[in-house]
Amino acid sequence: MKVCPKCNQQYDDDNLNFCLSDGELLMETAGGDADADATPTVYMDSPRVTNQNWEQQEPAQVQPNPAPQQMAQQPFAAPQTYQATVTPDKTLATVSLVLGILSLVLMCCYLGIPLGAGAAITGFIGMNRVNTDPDKYGGKELAIIGLVLGGISFVLSMLLIIGGILGAIFD
């Protein structure tokens, strides 16, 4: 008769060395009375459940206390981190994105050149600002999109104009 010290599973096979469910090294049990061995495991398990409940309840009651302490410590650091992480300046990046979209939409009216150039410039500046001062400025993705869109519409508009001039010349 062998018993697993971890899960208290009992094995009648004495050739077995390890527990089949968790691989724990089996212990040799003195005596072989199956009924006497079976009942203690029942008593062993029931106190554990109540102990776990006690341990789970106690941290839950303690947890609310640390929070006010952290709140009290934060006001010194809060003004800096608040502006840095929560409200980065995305204005330029947003302007670049809007200009980039407008330049594409209005490209047919030859507005693609000024709008595209504006989008590309503001996008470039916005991107650089995020790179140099990422705490203060945000919206790098917006700036890049604005830069790309503005660049595309600017180049396409230039090609349209050049094509128009060439067409006029060769006609």
**Which residues form the interface with Zn ion (CB under 5 A)?**
4, 6-7, 9, 19, 21-22, 24
Q: Which is nearer to Zn ion, 22 or 58 (CB)?
A: 22
Least distance to Zn ion, CB of residue 28, Å:
15
Q: Which is nearer to Zn ion, 6 or 136 (CB)?
A: 6
Least distance to Zn ion, CB of residue 10, Å:
10
Q: Which is nearer to Zn ion, 24 or 37 (CB)?
A: 24
CA–CA gap between residue 133 and residue 126 (Å, rounded): 10
Q: Which is nearer to Zn ion, 23 or 59 (CB)?
A: 23
Query: What are 66's two structure tokens?
Result: 């640390």
Give 105-119 as a 3 state SS string.
HCHHHCCHHHHHHHH
Least distance to Zn ion, CB of residue 12, Å:
15
Q: H/E element holding 92?
A: helix 91-105
CA–CA gap between residue 128 and residue 124 (Å, rounded): 6
